[in-house]
Amino acid sequence: MAALLAGLLAILPAVALAQGGAVPVTTDPVRVGPVPIEILANGIVASESVITIRARVDGQIEQVLVEEGQLVKKGQPLFIQDSRLNRALLAQFEANLIKDRALLTRYTADLLRYQQLGRESVASQQRFEQAQSDAASAAAQVKADEALVEQAKVNVGFSTITAEIDGQLGAIPLRAGNFVRQAENTAITTLTQLDPILVQFSVPERWLNEIRGAVRRGAAKVRVRAEGDGRAPAEGKLVFVDSAVDVATGTIALKARFENADHRLWPGQYVQVVLVPRDEENAISVAGPALQTGQDSRFVFVLGPDGAAHRRNVQLVRITGDRAVVKGELAAGEKVIVDGAQRVTEGTKAVERGSTQQRVSSN
């Protein structure tokens, strides 16, 4: 049956001519103008920053202030550890600082007194040098105390664990009552940045010069869409070109950054990527279905002013959306046959569907 149908389609133009009729077709004009160069790839969504949250001081977890999977803001408290020991150490270091500052005041006064007595030849040089040493030692001890106080304050601050970035929390395996040690390096949870977000993908190395040129011009645009997402593609900017081509695959790794306030893109998600390095000026494009494949070349049929179909050989450059960018002897505005191209040959009379000529012929 299929062979019979194909044979009927092949002889249909000749029958139409013998009956004085014309093959009904639909056409689409040839366009000449800028057409974006589109590089297609598959990509994976990846977060710019994934932070593993760990305890920085030893202590029991007293409070868990968040839930698993919660969105948090930078600086928001997440966990509170028992800080009584660190607060006690802070009080001790502050007391030592007060004591050593008092000693420094005393030794400084002694130094000034022995310096004056030395000028009057009342005190010996040895006693003056001892006073100098005592004052310097007291000053050093004050600095050490100040450092210990600052360290204790930092440790007290570490008892409240806060979010380092805006993002979403992962699973929280530890709850209130668990004791955590800094040395054990145990993860309390993770924090994943969602906005902005990256998409990682690779393209063949033949596109490298185009991509580098677009990066220099700051014109490289990237569009992505997840499988099944009926919305318009998300648009971002190319931000990374790898420093070397992968010799095993012949591809170059790239990254694009996207604003993601609505969390449309999710880490680990597979997406379809379209990289647009530039627009090709004065490109000739025809509707994709108009392009036919012959034994030795590709071609289209043009509906001429004489109402006949004329074959034009073309060279396919690339497919962009629903249009084919080609090279060949085509002029802007010429009508290429889209629907019905399989039913015509060189010189076949054809008429556009819905035209006045077709209505007259059918009557």
Phi-psi region of 20 (alpha: psi -120 to 50; beta: other; left: phi over 0): left
DSSP annotation of 6 reads: H
Q: Flag whether pLDDT at 20 surpasses 60.
A: no
Residue 8: count other Cβ atoms within 10 Å of its Cβ: 10
- Nearest Cα residue to 13 out of 359, 298, 294, 340: 340
The listed CATH number (1.10.287.470, 3.40.50.2300, 2.20.25.10, 1.10.1040.10) that belongs to domain 83-158:
1.10.287.470
Q: Report pLDDT digits (tens) over 107-142.
A: 888 777 767 765 656 556 677 677 788 888 889 999
CA distance 206 to 248: 15
CATH of 19-35+281-362, one of 3.40.50.720, 2.40.420.20, 1.10.287.3510, 3.90.25.10: 2.40.420.20
pLDDT for 333-362, tens place per residue? 999 999 988 888 888 898 988 544 444 444
High-pLDDT (> 70) share of the chain, % = 88
